[in-house]
Amino acid sequence: MARPVQRPRSGTIPSMEVATNAIRDSATFIVFGASGDLAKKKTFPALFALYRKDYLPRDVHIVGYARTKMNTEDYHRRISSYIKRDNDPNFDTKLEEFKNLSFVYSESFCRLNAHLVEIEKSYRTSNRIFYLALPPSVFIPVAKHAREECYSRGVNRIIVEKPFGKDLQSCRELLNELKKYWKEEETYRIDHYLGKEMVKNLLVLRFANITMGAGWDKNSISNVQITFKEPFGTEGRGGYFDEFGIIRDVLQNHMLQVLSILTMERPVSFSPEDIRDEKVKVLRAIPPVERKDTLLGQYVAADDKPGYLDDDTVPKDSVCPTFAATVLWIHNPRWEGVPFIMKAGKALNQAKVEVRIQFKDVTQGIFAEISRNELVVRIQPQEAVYLKLNTKSPGYAFRAIPTEMDLTYNRRFTEATIPEAYEVLILDALRGDQSNFVRDDELDVAWKIFTPILHWIDGKEGEKPKPEPYPYGSRGPATLDAFVESYGYKRTEEAYNWPTTNLSNL
């Protein structure tokens, strides 16, 4: 008798199962820079979220290390200040438990180690995750002391955050220093964009759908835009920002990571090294960004909003770009000739991060002046994937109008909660999965692409490019539309409305 066919309810991805080197029974997180902004806003809320969902090992402690002396009460207030209360009836109990697992120290590394040993007395193994939420100036000394004085007999991992240097050379120096103390397989370099749901989804969208694969190249695609928009300026972070600028802050890392996943070849497997090998391979086919392919901007005051130079922490004559559009070219058979336009800016008209793939015109003849297809992946806010298509206008008329096939997450997956990027990445670090962390050679090639243009921007007085001013809250520099269009982008006709089309307007 024929056996009934069993169909899986959802596709499985075998090699994405928990890695064999996962930390399971016990872990101590040691957060350096525990009194800083990053720890308060991202690290502790993420650790708490994982704790209350039971994703942390049964035996767990969270140890903050801060130079500022604090008593336990102040510390607990600080670490919970960005944890958002919700309707869960167990919220308060869980938060109390979490606080009871969390200590703060500010003594020497040797004393810190003694505390850790004490805490871990009842643990079967002492696995330690060192999280460096620190400014780059103290990065190496802390990594060194942590390795030399606080390394345990169990599994030890170090999580580090950008900035990884300021250019190719400083990045190489930093990597080499770090390598003296920590092995590559112990080092988890965070680019938090790799923990975002829609960035992770790119691999599935691309490689689990034959239809996507079919048109994913220079034959079908005219141009690609990767856009990052924030509606606020540097507000208090001007001191840090002025040293780095928008290219180092967002383009060279977050946007380039998105680009590499979007354009890499299919990996042999989903193992971390196979994925990262493909990312490096495609990045190596990108030559350094050229000056002629760059548009820089800086926001100025508008209405009651201050300009960049009004920030007290910014030098009055700063020419640091708060907006940049750069075009990257990939010299490989799949992508030759397709411009990848990467745009990022602060103090713009909205908050949005998206990838917009614009396909080529259909052959003219039976159609003229028809809109192009576009595939849009909205990374945030409101995760969505939609494909702009031409369709016959409903009714007696026979004409084509632009509409879209729309997968908006909060409508389609009504009960899904999308975790914060930091939660996903800390969990990956516990599980020993490095796929969504940046490997050393990825960094090297990413800096190669941007270093020449950054040196020009940082260059000698009088030779530095002057960014184009744009008003706070605007769409960016006035020449932006012309810049983007010069690379082949065609705006959809005015009648296009999202998400509903009023036919009487056509």
Residue numbers annotated as active site: 254
**Considering only residues 175-194, where is the footprint of ligand BG6 by CB under 6 A?**
192
Closest C-alpha among 295, 251, 200, 265 to residue 446: 251
Q: What share of the chain is helix, strand, coil (3-state, %, to 5)?
A: 35, 20, 40
Contact 400, 390 (CB under 8 A): yes
Kindly report whether the peptide bond that precedes residue 89 is cis, defined as omega within 30 degrees of 0. no
Q: How far is the CB of 192 from ligand BG6 (least distance, A)?
A: 6
CB closer to ligand BG6, 339 vs 345: 345
Q: What is the DSSP code string of 97-143?
A: HHHHTEEEE-S-HHHHHHHHHHHGGG-SS--EEEEE---HHHHHHHH
Between CA 444 and CA 171 the distance in angstroms is 7
Contact 128, 407 (CB under 8 A): no
Q: How far is the CB of 132 from ligand BG6 (least distance, A)?
A: 15
**Considering only residues 48-87, where is the footprint of ligand BG6 by CB under 6 A?**
none
Q: Does 423 bind ligand BG6 (CB under 6 A)?
A: no
Q: How far is the CB of 125 from ligand BG6 (least distance, A)?
A: 34
CB closer to ligand BG6, 28 vs 322: 322
Question: Given the DSSP bridges, would you call strands 156-161 and 128-132 parallel, antiparallel or unpaired?
Answer: parallel
Site string for ligand BG6, 318-357 (x = CB under 6 A): -----------------------------------x----
CB closer to ligand BG6, 347 vs 353: 353
**Considering only residues 3-42, where is the footprint of ligand BG6 by CB under 6 A?**
none
Query: Distance between terminal CA atoms of the chain?
Result: 60
Contact 355, 255 (CB under 8 A): no
Number of residues that bind ligand BG6 (CB under 6 A): 5
Task: Quote the tokens at residue 29.
Answer: 């997180």
Q: How far is the CB of 55 from ligand BG6 (least distance, A)?
A: 20
Q: Does 249 bind ligand BG6 (CB under 6 A)?
A: yes
CB closer to ligand BG6, 149 vs 230: 230
Contact 392, 18 (CB under 8 A): no
Q: How far is the CB of 238 from ligand BG6 (least distance, A)?
A: 11
Closest C-alpha among 11, 25, 7, 121 to residue 430: 25
Site string for ligand BG6, 82-121 (x = CB under 6 A): ----------------------------------------
Q: How far is the CB of 254 from ligand BG6 (least distance, A)?
A: 6
CB closer to ligand BG6, 155 vs 379: 379
Which residues fall within 8 angstroms of residue 309, CB to CB, at 6 or more apart? 298, 300, 316, 318
Q: What Å distances lie between residue 125 and 10, 60, 112, 226, 433, CA to CA?
A: 36, 11, 18, 44, 20
DSSP 221: E
CB closer to ligand BG6, 23 vs 348: 348
Q: Which residue is nearest to ligand BG6 (CB)?
A: 249
Q: How far is the CB of 249 from ligand BG6 (least distance, A)?
A: 5
Q: How far is the CB of 409 from ligand BG6 (least distance, A)?
A: 16
Contact 34, 104 (CB under 8 A): yes
CB closer to ligand BG6, 99 vs 192: 192
3-state secondary structure of 198: helix
Residue with tokens 């990939």: 330
Between CA 433 and CA 428 the distance in angstroms is 5
CB closer to ligand BG6, 40 vs 388: 40
Question: 86 pairs with which residues across the strands?
Answer: none
Between CA 340 and CA 337 the distance in angstroms is 10
Strand order in the sheet with 102-105: 102-105, 59-65, 26-32, 128-132, 156-161, 187-190
Q: How far is the CB of 134 from ligand BG6 (least distance, A)?
A: 14
E strand or H helix that includes residue 157: strand 156-161
CB closer to ligand BG6, 97 vs 354: 354
CB closer to ligand BG6, 157 vs 192: 192
Q: How far is the CB of 237 from ligand BG6 (least distance, A)?
A: 7
Buried b / exposed e along 426-446 (16+ C-beta atoms within 10 A): bbbbbbbbbbbbbbbbbbbbb
Contact 422, 48 (CB under 8 A): no
**Considering only residues 206-235, where is the footprint of ligand BG6 by CB under 6 A?**
230
**Considering only residues 350-389, where is the footprint of ligand BG6 by CB under 6 A?**
353
Q: What is the contact surface with ligand BG6 in residues (CB under 6 A)?
A: 192, 230, 249-250, 353
